[in-house]
């Protein structure tokens, strides 16, 4: 800052503004960081709650995903046989 081109009042005011800016920056950056972390926490909390809601309540209860994955896949031969039987039923 060129102090010769400004009045002493302007120089003092600029120094105060620079000091205030350098003092406020870490605080404002921290506040913004905490806001972002809080939003991420809420997002993850909602995901976890949803996961727990979908989880079986009873130890004997099987999740829907598991029942689908436990089914045996069709045999090509078995599938063709089923298709032929379906064709025979049509009139």
Asked whether the predicted pLDDT for residue 66 surpasses 60, the reply is no
Tell me the pLDDT tens digit for each residue of 47-60.
999 998 887 776 66
C-alpha 62/C-alpha 68 separation (Å) is 10
Asked whether the predicted pLDDT for residue 87 surpasses 80, the reply is no
Model pLDDT, residue 64: 58
Tokens 């994955």 found at: 69
1: helix, coil or strand?
A: coil
Helix (H) / strand (E) element for 9: namely helix 8-54
Tokens of 47: 């995901």
The CA-atom distances, in angstroms, between 15 and each of 43, 49, 50, 73 are 42, 51, 53, 76
Asked whether the predicted pLDDT for residue 10 surpasses 60, the reply is yes
Indicate the pTM of the whole model. Answer: 0.46
Q: Where are the domains of the chain?
A: 8-89
């Amino acid at each position: 800052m060129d102090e010769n081109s400004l009045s002493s009042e302007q120089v003092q005011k600029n120094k105060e503004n620079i000091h205030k800016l350098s003092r406020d920056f870490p605080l404002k950056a921290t506040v913004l960081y905490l806001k972002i972390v809080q939003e991420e926490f809420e997002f993850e909390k909602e995901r976890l709650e949803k996961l727990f809601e979908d989880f079986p309540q009873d130890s004997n209860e099987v999740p829907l995903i598991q029942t689908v994955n436990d089914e045996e896949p069709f045999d090509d031969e078995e599938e063709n046989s089923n298709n032929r039987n379906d064709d025979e039923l049509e009139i």
